[in-house]
Structure 1
Amino acid sequence: MEERVPVPPPHPAQDVTEHVGYRLKRAAAALRGAMDRALREHDLTVPQYSCLELLDEQPGLSNAALARGTFVTRQSANVVLRGLEDAGLIVRAAHAEHGRALPVHLTPAGRQRLHAARGAVYAIETRMIEAVPAERLPALLADLDTMAAALDA
Structure 2
Amino acid sequence: MSMRKMTPSSEEVWIGYSLKIAQHRLRQRLEAELSGTGVSAAQNAVLLAIGDNPRISNAALARAAFVTPQSMQGVLVTLERDGFIVRTPHPEHGRIIMTELTEKGLAAAHAGMIAAEMVERQMLAGLTADEAKLLGELLQRCAQALEPDS
* TM > 0.5 fold call: yes
Give me the whole-angstrom Cα distance separating, in 2, the residues matched to 1:58 and 1:151.
27
Q: Which residue number in structure 1 is paired with residue 41 of structure 2?
A: 46
Please tell me whether residue 78 in structure 1 is matched to residue 73 in structure 2. yes
| Contact 1:63 1:102 (C-alpha < 8 Å) held by counterparts | no
Give me the whole-angstrom Cα distance separating, in 1, the residues matched to 2:11 and 2:52.
38
Q: Which residue number in structure 1 is paired with residue 127 of structure 2?
A: 132
4+ aligned runs moved over 4 Å, structure 1: none
Give the SS at the match of 1:109: helix
Q: Which residue number in structure 2 is paired with residue 114 of structure 1?
A: 109
Give the SS at the match of 2:146: helix
Give the SS at the match of 1:152: coil
TM-score normalised according to structure 1 size: 0.84
* Structure 2 gaps, min length 5: none
Q: Which residue number in structure 2 is paired with residue 28 of structure 1?
A: 23
| Contact 2:89 2:96 (C-alpha < 8 Å) held by counterparts | no
Give me the whole-angstrom Cα distance separating, in 2, the residues matched to 1:47 and 1:97.
30
TM-score normalised according to structure 2 size: 0.85
* Structure 1 gaps, min length 5: none
Aligned length: 145
| Contact 1:16 1:22 (C-alpha < 8 Å) held by counterparts | no
Gap change, CA 1:136 and 1:61, over 3 Å in 2 = same
Give me the whole-angstrom Cα distance separating, in 1, the residues matched to 2:11 and 2:77.
39
Q: Which residue number in structure 1 is paired with residue 99 of structure 2?
A: 104
Give me the whole-angstrom Cα distance separating, in 2, the residues matched to 1:80 and 1:16.
43
Superposition RMSD in Å: 2.3
Indicate the percent of aligned positions where both proteins have the same amino acid: 34
